[in-house]
Structure formats: C-alpha cells, structure tokens
Structure 1
Amino acid sequence: MEIRLFHPYINERAIENSVQVLRSRWIGQGPMSTAFEKKAGEILHCNNPVLVSSGTVALHLALILAGVGPGDEVITTAMTCTATNHPILQCGAKPVFADIQYETGNIDPHDIYHRITSKTKAIMCVHWAGYPCDMSELVQVAEIAGIPIIQDGAHAQGATYKGQPIAAWSEYFMTSFQAIKTITSVEGGLLNCPNEDKAERAQRLRWFAIDRENRTPAPDGYYDHRDIDETGYKYQPNDVFSAIGLGNIQDFHRLLNDRRLMASYYHSELADVSGVTLFDKQLDRASGHWLFTIHVERRDDFIAAMASRGVEAGVIHRRNDIYGAFGGRRDDLPNLDEFEKTYVSIPIGNHLKIYEVEYVIDAIEKGW
C-alpha cells in the first residue's frame, strides 16, 4: 500500500466545465470567472470577493489596499509558505516575524504588541493546517494599534471561529485554490475586501488598473479613454481554471466533512501513542483540516519508518527566516525554535478512504 500526503480533487463536473470552456469563445476572464467568484464568495462567506490568479497575488493586493508601501513593516509569521511573505517584500516593506504557539503553529498574539512600531501598517496571520488563530486576541491588538489584519486562509477553507466564518474576523481574508487545496481550480485565489469600494479597486488592480466593469466601446473599436491613475497588475482570473473551480466547489461541504471525520479519527486514536503530541483543539473553533500536523520524537526516524510502511509523512513548509530574502534566521523566536524540531504532517485528504486512515494509524502505533 502507498498512501500519499496529497492528491488533487477533480470531479466530473470540473472536467465537463473545462471542456465546455475550451470549446467556447471565452477562455480568458469571462462569464465562468464571474460565476466562480460569486459561488466561492457565497460558500466561503466572503461579502466582497475578488477572484484572482493565485492566493499570493491576493495577499499582494490586500497589502496595497491596506496602504502598505516602501519602508513600512508588517508583523507576520515565519512558519508558513514563503508565498505569505513575498508580497510584503514586493511592496518594499519589511516582514517582522512574531513567535508562534508550539501547540498550534499559529502566530502568538502575545508576541506581537511589543514588535509594533510607527512603521507597522498591518498584521498578517496564517491559520496553520486550517486551525484558526486566536482571532479575538489578534483583533484586540490590531484595534489598539489601529492597523488591519490580513488573513492568509490558504489552509482554512471552511474554518470557523466562535461560531462565525473565519473570513468575518478581519478586514482582509485570502484563500487559495492551488492544485492540492480542498477546493482546487489548479491555480487561483480569492480576496475578501472590507467594503465595495476596496473590492472595486481590487478588481481594477487585478487587470492593469483598467476599469473593466464601467468602460464603454469607442467609435474606433477600442474603449473610452478612462484614466489609469495607478500601477496595475496582470492578476485576473481566467475561465479555464474558473470552470474547474466551479465544478469542484459543488462538493465542498462533503469534502470538508470527510476531512473533519478523518481528523477526529486521528485525534481519538493517536492521543495515547508514545512519542506523539497532538496539536491543540479548542471547542470554540473548527479547522479547515488542509493538513494534519503532529509533533513527534525523533522525526527523521518517524518519517523513515512511515516510508518503509508505505505512508508518506514529512515537513510542509520551513520557517521563512532561514532564507536570505527575509533577512536570515532570527534568535528571538523560541517557540518556533522548538516547533521546527518536531513538527510533521501525516496524510489527510479527499483521496483517502477510511481503511487507509486506519492503516496510517496502525503504522504509527507500530512505533519508530
């Protein structure tokens, strides 16, 4: 048996939709993009959704809308994909890394306030594995400082916190539809904006700062001469990936429920396994369960033992401060220092059957 960490979920509707688009006149941004943007907004409870070409560019747009520019600072986490923090550099700003919680992998709200300066323009948080950060505490810090929160919700599709959808807890929320996310469109991302004005600006910025919605045809065959008054980007969606996403998203609630059942099974069966420490699980929040991460003793031995039994396990993402682009390794992140020694992810996802989850549990219980 061979059990992988990831496998993309593509249903038949996604295939049929994409074939329909490829045989049509519209393969760029068109009606399918509009439909996917609306549907994704509804399912993920985003009131002002803007569909873009990736989650990374959604973060870039969020930073721009939040007023982040050269010389500014953004407090963020180093325990994430580098895609979270590259957009900060794109803005000419500096990522300021706060420590994380060992038991969740999420940014520690108590390590943020003392890092705020006059240059701080936003807080960026990542919901590790889909498990929501302590949003009440983050909101309190942000309100005292008078700065917005930008959520990287790439892992957190379907997550809730204190009875509310996770997107409701900040001015800006992003999720990703990259190849192995719960909802995939192969590529793509969604940005939720705080109001219609910000969303309209994001819609312009994603397409060279052109007002695509309100422009009108001109007699010469082009369009009216509306001004382009700021730098725009080629961040727009297309109907090919939107067709795939629109097909797959119809199954979202089932996909999320399946992941929750698998995670619950892992929690109950691995709780007393020697050498395993489960991550925190509070009753006031529900994870999106994109990953299932645990702490283990002798991690390299664990990964090798799992591989010998046909189970893929491994480290997902490395702390960003080890990379020169982010200024090099910090010496003031003690929880992250401990976290990086022991964290590992085991298979969870819609490619798995329950007997395969049982097999993973049995493989772990055999020891390493």
Structure 2
Amino acid sequence: MVLPEVVGYKLHGTPDKFITSTDIVLTVTKHLRQVGVVGKFVEFFGPGVPQLSIADRATIANMCPEYGATAAFFPVDEISVNYLEQTGREPETLAYITKYLKAAAMFRDYNNVAQDPDFTQVVELDLGTVVPCCSGPKRPQDRISVSEMKTDFETCLGAKQGFKGFQVAPERHNAVVPFQFNDKEYTLSHGSVVIAAITSCTNTSNPSVMLGAGLLAKKAVECGLSVKPYIKTSLSPGSGVVTSYLKESGVMDYLSRLGFEVVGYGCMTCIGNSGPLPDSVVEAITQGDLVAAGVLSGNRNFEGRVHPNTRANYLASPPLVIAYAIAGTVRIDFDKEPIGELCHYIVENKGSYITLKDLICKAA
C-alpha cells in the first residue's frame, strides 16, 4: 500500500467573537487549495483546536472534498470525550475509549507540543486573522471577505469569462429590468439575489451558526425588515434535531416570517434541488441577460449546479444568507451601506437606516 503524505494544519490564535465556523472553513479551503493537498491526508493540530467545538471541527472536516484532500480529521481529545458524554454514552464506554486511545498514543492534548506528530508538511493559520467571508461566484475555494464582496462582484462582471469572470460589457453593468410579481412592480439587476437557502450541510447542523441565523432573523423582524417576496428562500436542515432546537429557542417563527420555512431534510439547493423560480423573475433575468445571484450555506457552488438562472452563487454562513436575503443583492458593502430601512428608528433619533453591524450587535 502506498502511504499518503500527511499535511499538518496548525491552528493557533483566537478568533474574533463575531467569526463563524463557516468563515474559518472557507478560509481553510482557500488556503489548502493554494497549498495543494490532492491525494494527501490533512490532520489539524495546535493550540487553536481546543477553541473549536465538535460541530466547528465537523464543519471544517466536511469541506475536505472542496480543498481536495483524501481525508481531513481532528484527533480525539478531551472535548471529543465530553461530546460523547453529552450525547448519552455510558461512563464505562467513555473510560474504555479514553484508555484505548491513550495506550495507542492517539489521544491528543493539543497544548502539548511534545505530542505533535512528524508531518510531511506543516502549514499554519492564525485564527485571529479570519474575517467574515463568502466564497464564489463559481468555486468553493474562491474566498472573498464580506467587506470586499461588492467590489469583487463588480470586477467579476467585466472580467474575462472564467471562474472569476462573466465578461459583461461595461455599458451593461448597471442594467435594470422591471418586472411584476404578485401585482407589484420590482426590479432586478446584476447581483440581485433570487435564491437564498440555508441548505443541508454540516453548516446547517452546527448550532452556533443556526442559532446565530435565528437571532439575526428575530432582530430583523423586530426592526421591521423583510425579504422581497420573489426571492426563493428555504431552510432544509440535515436533521430534525435542528428544527427542534430552533423551535425550543423561540427563533423558528422569525425565520419563517422571513421566508425560511423548513422545506425538508437533506441536500437540496446545494445539489440543484431548489425548485423553479417565479416565471416573471426568469423572464427578467433572461430579458436583461442578468448575472443573478444565489446565496447558500452549502459547500458547493459550481456554475450551473445551484440553478440555471443564477450564474453567480456564493457559499456563506447561515447568518449571512439571512443578511443577503434581506439586502436583496450581493452588490452591497455591509460596512458602509445599510441593510435596510426601518421607520421606528426615527422615533429613537437614530436615523431611518440600519446596518448589518447594528443588527448583529442587537442580536448578540
């Protein structure tokens, strides 16, 4: 048997409190694609690992096909055993597992440098450098920080046809197409969001990002924000447990009011099972030859995979799926432009517009 090379991926530093597991995994995906790990194993280690929950680690390992490794894993540590205890394993089983792994030198103390194996290659990531991000418009490894999304999309519009280009003529970059939906008039342009899906993946089985999306939805609804009715919104978790804790925490109703109803369980939008878009939306996209956008919390966004009428597709955390759905476009700089307008803010003498940062702080 030909033994694979094992790349050690060292995590250190402390992530910002507003960074999600999705932000980390998209950063790791881009990095490992640049390193080149096809046909290799990736083992995560270092003092940054204990800061990641089991759900966070699963999210990172789940992206293994996207960064091209044969396998990616986190060795068992005390947090792993705590998870087994929380999920109902018997004390005797836990003791047996721990004793065996320690005897086989497979139980890890990530803060003990002496336990670090000899890897074929070591690459590092400072978790403190991770920023909120998405990936797209056509590949999971093409990470873009949220602060650069607007300029990156506009650059992609005019760039040569390819992974980061649509080759749209400059005079058509600001094209606007009016259309009717439910007897009301709306407009679409390049970058308009027409699909927003929190779709089955480990992203939708990670309580931190799912509850984060729910809290963001709650504060958005309370502020009077909404999602345009023609946007195809959906929530398809990987497990019924997700629905249970969203309901028990009191945020499910707010997600529903923004259009994120549970439509089923399993891989849906991520594999192209989003269902049809409204006829008037498709006609507007076709008429204007628009680069419409889909935003999803899945792990694959290759061109033509999500929907034939969304030429630009971005992977994002569930909270960012909510944010872009409310904004209605990916051509927005959340640091400088408001996510929406709300009347009751005038009463509070804070102006009539609210930013995503304001909304996140309210949710936090």
TM-score using structure 2 length:
0.26
Of structures 1 and 2, the one scoring higher in RCO (CA 8 A, sep 6+) is 1
Instruction: Provide TM-score, normalisation by structure 1.
Output: 0.26
